[in-house]
Amino acid sequence: MESSEKIFCGIDIGSRTGKIVLINNKKEIIFSEIIKTVASAAKTYGRLIELIPENLKNITASAVTGYGRESTRTMTDFSATEITCHYLGVLHAHPEIKTIIDIGGQDSKVITIDNYGRIKDFTMNDRCAAGTGRFLEVMMERIGFSIEEFAALDISEVEPVKINSTCTVFAESEVISMVSRDVPQEVIASSLARMVAANTFFMARKTRPEAPFFMSGGVSRLEPVRFHLEKLFGNEIKTDKFSQLMGALGAALFAMKETEKK
């Protein structure tokens, strides 16, 4: 890397994971990492910074977003909302996208984009855990799947059953009841994936979503959830290998943008 090249750092501290992305002048990702969150947002931030290679430590500007941004905003040059950062990250990587679906550890959000590439509308659920990554982790433990096994599960031929409750506590009771009745694991897993997808779908309708769709956040790697989302929306929902890093990428782009303004 040339010594004159500037480096911009984006950090996304979520409830379950911390993400860091470094980009260069050309807005290319030159370093990225994902870790599990530790005791506090500040410690997660510190752990992420420690991971930066020595030859990339000369950071021009940095920005933080996510669950822990309020606790760490004084440690970076800028801070930005998750809506702004996911929008910037996804639109940079996939400029054709009109609807962003982001499901993280403890919240979910839907962002719609107008024909000029601007945010048209958004909606967010950060009050109810049902329909998030943490909910699915707990439920998979109940039925004996690891989250990795669930992520790779092919449910295309599995008929789900309706889980009537959208509340975490009552949904868990329904799952325990299904386990006691020897309902197959795959059926329960598909049913839970559909419940999460349905919660997101009904939330998204407020924003009048349009194709093309892109899914970011940790839940984007869980194929059963994306499968049911595609059925509900009646459209393909794209994702990519950087989908979990979109918030951090957007934060790095935000740091670049704000630096250029100055």
Ordered by start, the domain boundaries in the chain are 8-94+245-261, 99-239
Q: What would you report as the CA-atom Rg of the chain, rounded to the nearest whole angstrom?
A: 19
- For the chain, give the longest Cα–Cα distance: 65
pLDDT the model gives residue 72? 92
DSSP state of 54: G
Give the pTM: 0.92
Please give the average per-residue pLDDT across 132-158, as a whole number: 89
DSSP state of 111: E
| Residue 128 pLDDT exceeds 80 | no
Same topology for domains 8-94+245-261 and 99-239, yes or no? yes
| Residue 3 pLDDT exceeds 60 | no
Cβ-contact 106, 15 below 8 angstroms:
yes
pLDDT the model gives residue 134? 85
**CATH classification code of 99-239:** 3.30.420.40
pLDDT the model gives residue 127? 64
Distance of alpha carbon 31 from alpha carbon 28, whole angstroms: 9
pLDDT the model gives residue 126? 66
pLDDT the model gives residue 129? 64
Residues near 182 by beta carbon (within 8 Å), at least 6 away in sequence: none
Q: The CATH number of 8-94+245-261 is which of 3.30.2130.30, 3.30.420.40, 2.102.10.10, 2.40.128.50?
A: 3.30.420.40
Q: What pLDDT band is residue 234 in, cutting at 50, 70 and 90?
A: very high
